[in-house]
Structure 1
Amino acid sequence: MPYLLSFFLCLSLSLFGKEKPRPNIIFILTDDQRWDALGVAGNSIIKTPQMDNLAKKGVYFKNAFSTTPICAASRASILTGLYERTHNYTFQKPSLQVQYTNLMYPKILKENGYHVGFYGKLGVAIDRPEQYFDESDFYDRGPRSDKGGYFYKKIGADTVHLTRYAGQQAQDFISNAPKNKPFCLSVSFSAPHGHDSSVEQYFWQEKSNSLYEDIVFPRPSLGEDLYFDRLPIEVKNGFNRVRWKWRFDTPEKYQRMMRGYYRMITEIDDEIGALRNLLAKKGQAENTIFIIMGDNGYFTGDRQLADKWLMYDPSIRVPLIIFDPRMPNKARTVSDMVLNIDITQSILDFAEIKSPVNYQGESLKPYLNRSDYSLHRDFILIEHLWKLPDIPSSEGIRTDKWKYFKYRYIQAPEELYDLEKDPMETKNLAQEQSHQKILKKLRNKFTRKVAQLRKEQLVAESSSQEQIKF
């Protein structure tokens, strides 16, 4: 009788207890793609059919934010699931400490049976980063101050754009991935980041020469003098303004630069389409999750500024799309505030791996499981802690209704905006007597959150510096 019971138990397990395969995960990270540089965001000019299609079949997060609007700190936050205030990494800092690299999602995935790959811009100084991946190749724009900054990698005998190069590496990874393991592939495009040392700034492939050629781009938001004049003198004299002069300070230059910027984003979209076609051909499309995000926001002439770094929404707001073909509630647009540090938790949740207790974000997976799910975040903390005179450091918090921030090392007024009445952040209410109560409340929330994040540091802060390109 015991043998008979064992037989039926084994039979039932083989018929009914077979585990579902864990999903493949593809994480696409773009560099300096602002939140509204997407068709699905309501942009009628840009051509992003693949990203739009994934958003319309999956979940589009219309209020996604980078906790720190600069690539080094933001990318460290995505890797570790921690605020900059906790991991303490940004430019001109030593390598990310091992206590934090132990929390990185690729390391945890690799230790839990995933085949893990990374191609493109890592953007974080890490000792021997290749140890955390099964396959990897780390690179960014090259040293030449012309198109060679983007065109220096080869496929066969052909020198190709970095976007094409990373896309081909991603295809090769998928084609050659082991069949007995799920994979997680991170593709970190250098585009559409301007090539800072070049007069032309934006470089694209020959196939895109005619794209947007007949388009007249609308003038940038808040491009009038009065909005620039309200900024602190240190911001007016800083790198945001310097780079505006590189890219957007004349109408002709603005049109030319915007065409280049959009062309580079469309070329990323092309590579996403190629990956989707390959997955369909290999029969893996129905078990592969796509996560597409930008590392920080971007000023394209807003307030007569360029780049990011500041606490205004165009600088901190990013595109975010998650598509999981296995989920029952696929199409949804989410208005809740979500963060770059949520991606780390989400990737491990999709992979059915328990996350470290240190993570400071939330999993976004429930948004794909339940049509009524909401995080109900009271507020988010935003910060840019790098102490560099040319980019004034600032910090604050944002709720659905309010934005409060202050500069850290310069004498400048606090700023407070009612985002419901003033979503463009044009009327600073911080000095108005009628708003002192909410100002004090937001200050207190901010102070308590900062104290909490400092307590969660795993190692003491380091002030030693090394020079890093940004």
Structure 2
Amino acid sequence: MINIYFYRPIQFKVIMNPLRLILLVAITMLSACAQKQEKIEHPNIVWITSEDNSKHYLKLFDDNGIATPNIEALAEQGVIFDNAFSNAAVCSAARSTLISGIYGPRISSHYHRRLQQVPMPNNVEMYPAYLKQAGYYTTNCYKEDYNIIKSDTVWDSSSKKATWRNRKPGQPFFHVFNIMTTHESRVHFTQEDYETKKTNANPKDYSVQPNHPDTKLMKYTNAWYRDKIVQMDTEVGQVVDELKKDGLMDDTFIFYFSDHGGVLPGSKGYILETGLEVPMVVYIPEKYKHLVNIKAGTRNDGFVSFVDFGATLMNIAGIKIPEGIDGKPFLGKNISAKELSDRDETFSYSDRMDEKYDMVRGYRKGKYKYLRNFQPINYDGLMNNYRYKQLAYKEWSELNEAGKLNEVQSQFFNTKAPEALYDIEADPYETKNLANDPALKNKLVELRGLLTNKMETINDLSLYPEFYLIKNAFNNPAAFGKTHQADIKQYLSVANLALEDFKTAKNKIEKYLNSKDSWERYWAINACTSFGKQADQFVKNAIKISENDSELINRVKAAEFLGAIGNKNPVKVMTQALYDSKDPNEALLMLNSIVVMQDGFDYKFNLEKEKLATVYTEPQAVRRLDYLGVK
């Protein structure tokens, strides 16, 4: 039987059998799909990233900030993000989250400086690789500073000379431009500078933070740094001028933001809002304004964080967001301004900062910020060589030693509470811990639960000491976390005994002090240290651990507890453990406890250089030894 069909697009009569018709329809549909695929729009995207400046320094975000006319000009045709956050408060940890879209503690990319780089999880790439696969020309000028192993699939060019101008004709591009002008090192001015150089910004025009001493030097440092902000803003303008020169402003999204907060004392390296909350403006090009559901010239108070940035770029560019990353987009056709504004949560983390160890996790929801200090004996002001190159840091410490600081200003040099709760709207510099306020008990419990859930969900690897992870997990940290998910959850529950009433917690602490699991013992002894003298009934347990535990670090931590409560001098145990260690990374952690005992509790150490051959193979440990006077 012969059927007659009319195929209208060709405009003449054809005769064919059903099979030929099916083939023709399929070809037509494929052609239509291909044409539709070709219509996917790939706008250019430029990131301008400044170093180490929180939003508190820019007048666009804070009355105590300085004017930045070039960034403000971008905002006129863009969106000001009033709640943009880095997830970490120091360069390599922050940038590792940024480039990967993965929370640092899930893959151990959050230690600064890295002792060893870690790989991305299986089947996941750094986000520029996906842009590159979609046809983008990807360039970075020029800082990377990743704690993650980078593949060749990420950048077409990453150097001081990297530019979008080397792309093929008509090729969309993604370009990162880094500005070092506001980096912490730029505040390492000398005493001579302080005495002879005037700042353009008037020191009297900027108030000193309530946690800082209101001194002439601190005021000068405020002004000096605001001069750097102005210089940085000029450099932002220079990048924009180059885009204008090339006629690219109508089809290029421009993101301006800082790589984390800082750089005045107590900001960079600490997950307070001054260390985390960054200035961010996104310029929306006229040609592609339909790709986002947010009006230019507006502000948005939704919470966005670095883990979301890669997903956002892919969403704008019409690229499918891969499974395996933690971030979610905050701009795109599928994101409404209201949905964005309703976002009010962010997660943050801090661990080793150069030679200084700590473990702090933060969770903010709305105006309330929760901090969990897992090792509160590691007070914030503990010696960190690079921090104390800044004259204002030195003065702050000297005034503390002289007893010339008030209660708020001296908090930086005191041991911390295991948990803290702050009302950021009322107390933006986090000076008043509300964790014991009965009226906020429910809020405390809520945020504590949100943080615990987040740490369990991502398999937070810091429940193991870093040196152990390097030896056992760094070939594939994400896989290690999945395999040891139950263990991590258990160690977190042991660590969180420090948050319970001691009478409730003591029987469980005793159980875990006697556990066969090394890291249950580790967290049980840390819980004892958090309780302080309340836990003195465990002195015998601690002495036993300090003398013969199978893990040298547990001996050190037990000695730390005994020294902190004044029961037993920790010097002999800590010194011998340091000599016995064959792992320089383990030794670095031990040295942290030694400095805590020396500076915080006045114990005297006399280390013998000839017994420290292993330690001297780790440069950051050498900094500790230099500070301790080992020659």
The answer, yes or no, to whether TM exceeds 0.5 is: yes
Establish whether residue 280 from structure 1 lines up as the match of residue 244 from structure 2. yes
Per the TM alignment, residue 355 of structure 1 is displaced from its structure 2 partner at its CA by 1.1
**Pairs within 5 Å for 1:71-110:** 71-89=91-109, 90-91=111-112, 92-99=114-121, 102-110=124-132
Match of 2:185 among 192, 195, 198: 195
CA-atom RMSD, angstroms? 3.7
Would you say the 8 A contact 2:367–2:425 is kept in 1? Answer: yes
CA spacing shift, 1:94–1:196, aligned 2, 3 Å: farther
Would you say the 8 A contact 1:58–1:368 is kept in 2? Answer: no
> What SS does the aligned partner of 1:352 have?
coil
Per the TM alignment, residue 393 of structure 1 is displaced from its structure 2 partner at its CA by 2.7
> What SS does the aligned partner of 2:55 have?
coil
> What SS does the aligned partner of 2:342 have?
coil
Establish whether residue 319 from structure 1 lines up as the match of residue 279 from structure 2. yes
Q: Distance in 2 between matches of 1:216 and 1:28?
A: 30
Which residue does 2:210 correspond to in 1? 222
Which residue does 2:458 correspond to in 1? 453
Match of 1:268 among 226, 232, 256: 232
Structure whose alpha-carbon radius of gyration is higher: 2
Letter in 1 for 2:278: V
CA spacing shift, 1:213–1:324, aligned 2, 3 Å: closer
Which 5+ residue runs of structure 1 have no aligned equivalent?
138-165, 204-208, 226-248
**Pairs within 5 Å for 1:220-369:** 220-223=208-211, 250-251=215-216, 253-300=217-264, 305-325=265-285, 326-327=288-289, 329-366=295-332
Per the TM alignment, residue 116 of structure 1 is displaced from its structure 2 partner at its CA by 0.6
Per the TM alignment, residue 371 of structure 1 is displaced from its structure 2 partner at its CA by 4.1
Which residue does 1:26 correspond to in 2? 46
Q: Distance in 2 between matches of 1:342 and 1:5?
A: 45
Which residue does 2:444 correspond to in 1? 439
Letter in 2 for 1:182: P
Query: Matched residue pairs, number?
Result: 401
Would you say the 8 A contact 2:135–2:171 is kept in 1? Answer: yes
Q: Distance in 2 between matches of 1:111 and 1:118?
A: 16
Letter in 2 for 1:280: K
> What SS does the aligned partner of 1:103 have?
coil
Match of 2:9 among 1, 5, 9: 5
Q: Distance in 1 between matches of 2:584 and 2:131?
A: 31
Match of 1:119 among 141, 146, 156: 141
Per the TM alignment, residue 343 of structure 1 is displaced from its structure 2 partner at its CA by 0.9
Which 5+ residue runs of structure 2 have no aligned equivalent?
13-27, 378-415, 462-476, 485-582, 586-617, 624-631
Would you say the 8 A contact 1:324–1:368 is kept in 2? Answer: no
Match of 1:182 among 142, 153, 172: 172
Would you say the 8 A contact 1:348–1:355 is kept in 2? Answer: yes
Q: Percent identity?
A: 23
**Pairs within 5 Å for 1:353-432:** 353-366=319-332, 370-374=336-340, 376-377=342-343, 379-386=345-352, 390=356, 392-411=358-377, 412-413=416-417, 414-432=419-437
Letter in 2 for 1:309: G
Q: Distance in 2 between matches of 1:122 and 1:431?
A: 42
Q: Distance in 1 between matches of 2:372 and 2:335?
A: 38
CA spacing shift, 1:106–1:29, aligned 2, 3 Å: same
CA spacing shift, 1:115–1:290, aligned 2, 3 Å: same
Would you say the 8 A contact 2:85–2:276 is kept in 1? Answer: yes
> What SS does the aligned partner of 1:41 have?
coil
Letter in 2 for 1:188: N
CA spacing shift, 1:459–1:59, aligned 2, 3 Å: same
TM-score (norm 1): 0.74
CA spacing shift, 1:406–1:211, aligned 2, 3 Å: same
Per the TM alignment, residue 74 of structure 1 is displaced from its structure 2 partner at its CA by 0.8
Q: Distance in 1 between matches of 2:367 and 2:201?
A: 39
Whose helix fraction is larger, Structure 1's or Structure 2's? 2
Per the TM alignment, residue 130 of structure 1 is displaced from its structure 2 partner at its CA by 5.5
Q: Which has the higher contact order (CA 8 A, sep 6+)?
A: 1
Per the TM alignment, residue 348 of structure 1 is displaced from its structure 2 partner at its CA by 1.0
Per the TM alignment, residue 216 of structure 1 is displaced from its structure 2 partner at its CA by 3.3
TM-score (norm 2): 0.57
CA spacing shift, 1:211–1:257, aligned 2, 3 Å: closer
CA spacing shift, 1:464–1:377, aligned 2, 3 Å: farther
Letter in 2 for 1:454: N
Would you say the 8 A contact 2:56–2:64 is kept in 1? Answer: no
